Amino acid sequence: MRVELYGLVMDSPCVTFYLWSPWRAAAIEHKLFEAMVPIPGAEIEKEPDELRLHIEDEKGWKLALQNISRVMKGWQEEGVDAGNEKRAWRFLMEGDIDTNGYDHKGEKSAFWLFLRLSMDRGGPVDGEKAEEFDLNGFGICIWGEDE
């Protein structure tokens, strides 16, 4: 399937969404994962320490990306309602591959997407009040092509 991420285009057999350690994950990470569940054709795997959801079609990917944006825009609006707090979010992309096409765990190459949240509290005279948080409990894996 064709996976498009804001102008970056990749071919992938599958995209997997992860919720690691659900008992420790933040509420926003649960909301992100729960937004993936109603996607048509999504397959869910439940393990004691993680939840996985697989999407294998382009329409499902587009819907997933749209759902992530909706959840994150809602989170941004909560900051506006709180007063002088400015919130932003962005994707972090990570990859790990050797010369044979495998990662450090011996699995086929893949790209990982994570979310980083930024919160800026205070006004111009308050100085630096920005904080950044990585959502370590929620991740997206865009798998490389199978041989």
* Rounded Cα distance, 62 and 27, in Å: 23
Report whether pLDDT(86) > 90. no
| pTM score | 0.89
Q: What is the mean pLDDT of residues 103-110?
A: 83
Those residues whose C-beta lies under 8 Å from the C-beta of residue 67, and which sit 6 or more positions away, are: 35, 36, 39
Q: What is the mean pLDDT of residues 3-20?
A: 95
Report whether pLDDT(146) > 80. no
Confidence band for 141, pLDDT divided at 50, 70 and 90 = very high
Query: How open is the CA angle 99-101-104, to the nearest 5 degrees?
Result: 85
Q: Please provide residue 146's backbone torsions phi and psi, each rounded to the nearest 5 degrees.
A: -75, 150
pLDDT for the residue numbered 15? 96
Contact 40, 54 (CB under 8 A): no
